[in-house]
Amino acid sequence: MFKGSIVALVTPMSESGDVDYPSLQKLVEFHVESGTDGLVAVGTTGESATLPMNEHIHVVKKIVEYAAGRIKVISGSGANSTDEAIELSQASAEVGADGLLSVVPYYNKPQQRGMVAHFEKVADACELPLLLYNVPGRTVADLSPQSTAVLAAHPRIVGLKDATGDLKRLQELKQLVPEDFILLSGDDPTGCEFMLQGGQGVISVTANVVPAMMAKLCKAAVSGARDQALQIDKPLQALHQALFIEPNPVMPKWALYRMGLIPSPVLRLPMVQPELTSQNTIEAVLHDIGLIS
């Protein structure tokens, strides 16, 4: 259903701060042509925090239109209000998304029982398959493997994006969830090993920049071709690291801008463009990989 290389897609913006839809369409085509398996529309990397709901859903709708059934579209539909997450999820279904990615409620730090109740209520309210998203580095709250196992019993909760980077947790999850429950890495530096140890794919920031390489990496790793997967991943490790030297999506937007894939690296406040030292770092990595001259 949702496996392989799934990109956490950036939302390109013009100098005025409006969504740049022509560039968005070009990015969708870039991923289709590069073999990416799925698109996450307006997740954290897509600046969901600063897109109001109507604009958020319009971007999802346009990505669905651009994809035209050639690639799966997963809508970022999480919120720290359960009612808002339900509204986003239902609206995503109405505009044709194939699935949902719903993040652990952020800032209000719900208890484990609260997180379970939140996700069950969201899943009950929408027919689309739902991927849980655990990223305690951003949300503070951490969805436990035990709570994930409870949620995995829901017929519409089909998987988890785990961005903890903790490979021991993967083994614990595999012992607790059904065999068909999808386990995806949300941490690019450890994503290759995550797949080699039984994960079915990644939801990747790095795939914005090198989608064809990430698609090949995922195919190799998921099939258990360890040597081939590690050979592909080795030169990407510097890129994985450089893309997170400033808060995401600052660096992937700058990389895409320098590669000529988007005309502007504009972000919405409170995000701003990277420091000069960060620009130099990512550009050196892009040059070493052969992505810029």
State both tokens at 123: 């899943």
Active-site residue, 257 included? no
Handedness of CA 174, 97, 240, 140 (dihedral sign): negative
Residue of 161, 174, 234, 253 marked active site: 161
Phi–psi pair at 6, nearest 5 degrees: -115, 125
Binding-site entries: 45, 203
Work out the widest C-alpha separation in the chain, in whole angstroms. Answer: 52
Active-site residue, 161 included? yes
State both tokens at 107: 């800032």
State both tokens at 254: 């700058």
Binding-site entries for pyruvate: 45, 203
Cα 47 to Cα 251: distance, rounded to the nearest angstrom: 13
Find out whether 45 and 202 touch, Cβ atoms under 8 Å: no
Cα 172 to Cα 52: distance, rounded to the nearest angstrom: 37
Cα 192 to Cα 201: distance, rounded to the nearest angstrom: 9
Cα 130 to Cα 31: distance, rounded to the nearest angstrom: 22
Residue of 133, 219, 234, 253 marked active site: 133
Active site residues: 133, 161
